[in-house]
Amino acid sequence: MSNFVADQLKFVRRQAVDYVRNINDSASEIIPTGLKNNIKWNLGHMYVIHEKFAFQLTGEETKYPANFNTLFDPGTKPSDWNIEPPSLSQIIDLLTEQMERVESVLSSKLKEEINPHYKSSTGLIFTNVEQLLGFLIYHEAMHFATIKNMKSIIESQNS
């Protein structure tokens, strides 16, 4: 997928996955004071939104693991969970596999129009695959920054 948008998306995802690889599962479930989510939720949410924008909205096959939408959709939070979430390593594996699917399924379709066009909750209108992936760069980077901040808070509270 030799395309600037696709390459940037892979870069951001790789940075996030590499960053969380050495966080233990229990630390990934700590909800810092004043926040409503944790590192694990942010990673699962990245997966769910990526699945929607990269596959569902482009008409491709989606792979939502069982309960992922219940756990990680917008507006959900760990304090409402009544089912066991996946382990951090399971989410990391899914995030890695997802990027491989984006590359294999969408690399030749970046300029293809999507139908219907998609209007986001903030009013952005997306008309092709590349635009959807471009939005995912922003979304992934925003959640990656949140994860970095959460890790910093957790470490400062435990030192």
Read off the pLDDT of residues 31-51 as tens digits, 9 standing for 90 and up: 999 999 999 999 999 999 999
Q: What is the pLDDT of residue 2?
A: 55
What is the C-alpha to C-alpha distance for residues 96 and 13, in angstroms, rounded to an integer? 8
Q: What is the pLDDT of residues 74-132, one digit of tens each?
A: 999 999 999 999 999 999 999 999 999 999 999 899 999 999 999 998 899 999 999 99
Q: What is the pTM (predicted TM-score) of this model?
A: 0.95
Between CA 50 and CA 55 the distance in angstroms is 8
What are the two backbone dihedrals, phi and then psi, of residue 122, each rounded to the nearest 5 degrees? -95, 5
Tokens representing 100 are 């491989």
* Token pair 């969970």 in the structure block, residue: 81
Per-residue model confidence as pLDDT tens digits over 57-71: 999 999 999 999 999
pLDDT at position 107: 87
* pLDDT for the residue 157: 85
| pLDDT of 55 higher than 90 | yes
